[in-house]
Amino acid sequence: MHYTIRHVTKFAYESPISESVMETRMQPRSDAQQHCIRFGLSTTPSARVRMYQDADGNTVHHFGIPGRHSRLTVTAEAFVECGTPPDVPSTLGADAWEALDRATEAGEFWDVLNPSPFAKRTPLLRALAEEMNLRRIADPVSTLRQVMADLYSRFEYRPKSTRVDSPIDDALSTKQGVCQDFSHIMIALVRQLGIPCRYISGYLFQPAETPTRSTDGATHAWVEAWLLDLGWVGFDPTHNSLADERHIRVAVGRDYSDVPPTRGVFKGLSAVRSELMVGVSIGTAQHFTDPTMFTPWMSREASSPLAESDSQHQQQQ
């Protein structure tokens, strides 16, 4: 399946700022099941964009705007091919737990087995674990499926019920949240069981005829667990499903703090107010209708700022 993605982030400042520096993690990954064929990042005001790869293999683009400005628009466009992941068995062998413990005891998975900034063990998380009777059952796959199904049944998907920087206790206390919250909670629970688990940011293609819990036109998040010979396997607690060819992976990390789409600082002479609006359009495509639409690895001036009329369609989970 081929997808086109356009991700627009718009910042507006209450008073002009004199300088801004930003990095983005918006380029879809390329791996065994997914290939980013084309990618381009542009800014308004225009800036020279550079790139590097972080320790997790995510492509990071960074730029600085030294001039005085009151608005900033970052536009990322991608063309991605996604294949169908290998089938995941319903169960693993009787010795799977023992094999998993042997594989992780050397410390290679330390960072995805221990608490992280957004996937911490809190009193509310411990209470949830007790309610769920969290424990290892027959094998790791069966355990992960049960944890995911339990979270799906206990939590309500409610857009805007939490913020991008909300701790898991906000969702745990109200039993509602968005994909980011469900992913952080599942990660925190699964790591307690000794299963390496990491956070995935990306997009979910949602056909019009297929109802989903997540918000259309927004970024998405799910988790991946390491399962011996199966490698990293995606689990989507928002939809109680395995990740498939509709899940477009952008970045991986311990949790959201490692992979925000944008992160930066700015310099201003007075108090400033910033507004963030994200518009994501995603759909299938077999080829480019306009090859000049994408300028890989280079910056160019956007043809026009994001239309104000589009703001009602822009949401970030």
Is the pLDDT confidence value at 297 over 80? no
Its CATH class, for the domain covering 2-82+259-313, is: mainly beta
Is the pLDDT confidence value at 30 over 70? yes
Are 101 and 194 a contacting pair, CB within 8 Å? yes
Where in the chain are the domains?
A: 2-82+259-313, 96-258
pLDDT recorded at residue 18 = 87
| Side chain identity, residue 306 | L
Are 199 and 223 a contacting pair, CB within 8 Å? yes
Residue 291's contacts (CB-CB under 8 Å, 6 or more residues apart) are: none
For the beta carbon of residue 201, count every other beta carbon within 10 angstroms.
Answer: 26
- Reported as a single tens digit per residue, the pLDDT across 234-257 is 999 999 999 999 999 999 999 999
Assign residue 175 a region: left if phi > 0, alpha if psi is -120 to 50, beta otherwise? left
The CA-atom distances, in angstroms, between 216 and each of 58, 205, 219, 242 are 24, 8, 9, 19
Give the mean pLDDT of 310-317. 32
pLDDT recorded at residue 285 = 57
Beta strand pairing call for 59-65 and 50-53: antiparallel
Q: How far apart are CA 230 and CA 242, in angstroms?
A: 13
- Reported as a single tens digit per residue, the pLDDT across 193-223 is 999 999 999 999 887 666 566 655 578 999 9
Q: Which fold has domain 96-258?
A: C8orf32 fold (3.10.620)
- Reported as a single tens digit per residue, the pLDDT across 179-191 is 999 999 999 999 9
Q: How far apart are CA 7 and CA 261, in angstroms?
A: 10
Q: How far apart are CA 26 and CA 2, in angstroms?
A: 17
**pTM of the entire structure?**
0.86
Is the pLDDT confidence value at 116 over 90? yes
Before 45, cis peptide (omega within 30)?
Answer: yes
Q: Residue 50 belongs to what H/E stretch?
A: strand 50-53
